[in-house]
Amino acid sequence: MQTEQYIKAGKIAAEVREMVRVKDWVGKTVFEICEEVENEIKKRGAKCAFPVNASINEIAAHYTAEPNDPITIKDTDLVKIDLGAQIDGYIADTAVTVCYDAQFDGLVQAAEEALGNAMSMIKTGVKASDIGRTIETTIKKMGFKPIANLSGHSLDQYTIHAGKSIPNIWSIGGFSLSENTAYACEPFVTTEQAGGFVRNGNIKNIFALNSRKKTKNVEADKLLDFIWENCNMLPFALRWLTKEWEEKEARELLDFLIKKKAVQAYPILIEVNEQRVAQAEHTFIPNENGVTVTTKAE
């Protein structure tokens, strides 16, 4: 367990998240947001663990900017900015929902409160299902709905989803938290009118390596090596490739690698009734006496 790297990455992720929280993003494009937030992570000495997600309104997760993405933030938008920092592959994953329209403050608050209540009960041996129950109870008490098919996850070196899930609703069974393992907890909250589930959208703009097996296409294999050297098995965006390749060529090579199953593409996730979604997230490491929340603000 590289606690030191986890804590370092967490401190950087927390600083950047707090900067994101107080900044006025209205009128900015999602391209500007993603690039600025990623640069802040790098400036502080970490690498990005994945492309910054800027998921607006009913899009719950997994939207990152396309190259020169023109989508612009309006003052009625609810924007979930999910960011990750990594040091030597040890990840801090954290998120905040920014909102400039008071009518959605309750949603944002419910996500933050559910996260806070979850963090305050954590220590080694606590059941993931009990964390889910706390999250669900908190959200429902405030008059909202948790999203049932999104969950937190265990983390490992160069691995964002390391096999274990931390649910946002009560569920039967499940595992108990082990000491010195890193996890991310991320309540997603939606309205009473929502279905409380997400479905896959048509847009896919986050990718990750599946295999490093050569394809016999020289340029595609060059791209495979580039991804491996820069991202390892962690997710990446097309934006990150256009520094080395023309956008059109990068897109074609990426499509080729997806067809060859060397790369996988992740769809955006949309609330089934197209209701708005808020999110809050921390990375934490349980111990006997409680918990180290690596992404806690100073």
Residues 227-272 pLDDT 10s? 999 999 999 999 999 999 999 999 999 999 999 999 999 999 999 9
Kindly name the residue from 40, 93, 113, 136 that is annotated as catalytic.
Answer: 93
pLDDT bin (cut points 50, 70, 90) of residue 1 is low
Statement to judge: residues 134 and 214 lie in one domain:
no
Statement to judge: residues 229 and 281 lie in one domain:
no
Are 55 and 267 in contact, with CB atoms under 8 Å apart? no
Residues 97-135 pLDDT 10s? 999 999 999 999 999 999 999 999 999 999 999 999 999
Say whether 62 is catalytic.
no
Statement to judge: residues 106 and 189 lie in one domain:
yes
Statement to judge: residues 143 and 51 lie in one domain:
yes
Statement to judge: residues 151 and 212 lie in one domain:
no
Per the domain annotation, does 166 fall within a domain? yes
pLDDT bin (cut points 50, 70, 90) of residue 298 is confident
Statement to judge: residues 36 and 134 lie in one domain:
yes
Residue 296 in this model has a pLDDT that exceeds 90: yes
- Predicted pLDDT of residue 173: 84
Per the domain annotation, does 159 fall within a domain? yes
Statement to judge: residues 105 and 37 lie in one domain:
yes
Strand partners, 293: 284
For residues 86 and 92, give the distance between their C-alpha atoms in angstroms, rounded to a whole number. 6
Say whether 130 is catalytic.
no
Helix (H) or strand (E) holding 138: helix 128-141
Per the domain annotation, does 100 fall within a domain? yes
Statement to judge: residues 25 and 124 lie in one domain:
yes
Per the domain annotation, does 161 fall within a domain? yes
Statement to judge: residues 126 and 233 lie in one domain:
no
Kindly name the residue from 40, 113, 136, 153 that is annotated as catalytic.
Answer: 153
Statement to judge: residues 33 and 125 lie in one domain:
yes
Say whether 281 is catalytic.
yes
Statement to judge: residues 117 and 41 lie in one domain:
yes
List the one residue out of 280, 231, 286, 278 whose CA is nearest residue 94.
Answer: 280
For residues 145 and 136, give the distance between their C-alpha atoms in angstroms, rounded to a whole number. 8
Kindly name the residue from 82, 112, 136, 271 that is annotated as catalytic.
Answer: 82
Statement to judge: residues 46 and 146 lie in one domain:
yes
Residues 146-202 pLDDT 10s? 999 999 999 999 999 999 999 999 998 889 999 989 999 999 999 999 999 999 999
User: Domain span at residue 231?
Assistant: 206-266
Cβ atoms within 10 Å of 152's Cβ, excluding its own: 28
Domain count, the chain: 2
CATH number at residue 245: 1.10.10
Per the domain annotation, does 243 fall within a domain? yes
Lateral strand order in the sheet of 59-61: 59-61, 263-271, 198-209
Chain position carrying tokens 């129950």: 133
Residues 25-66 pLDDT 10s? 999 999 999 999 999 999 999 999 999 999 999 999 999 999
List the one residue out of 60, 65, 95, 34 whose CA is nearest residue 201.
Answer: 60
Say whether 192 is catalytic.
no
Per the domain annotation, does 298 fall within a domain? no
Per the domain annotation, does 240 fall within a domain? yes
Say whether 282 is catalytic.
no
Kindly name the residue from 18, 161, 247, 252 that is annotated as catalytic.
Answer: 161
Phi, psi of 209 (to 5 degrees): -70, 135
Are 55 and 95 in contact, with CB atoms under 8 Å apart? no
CATH number at residue 37: 3.90.230.10
Say whether 88 is catalytic.
no
Name, in order, each residue with C-beta under 8 angstroms of 141's C-beta and a sequence gap of 6 or more: none
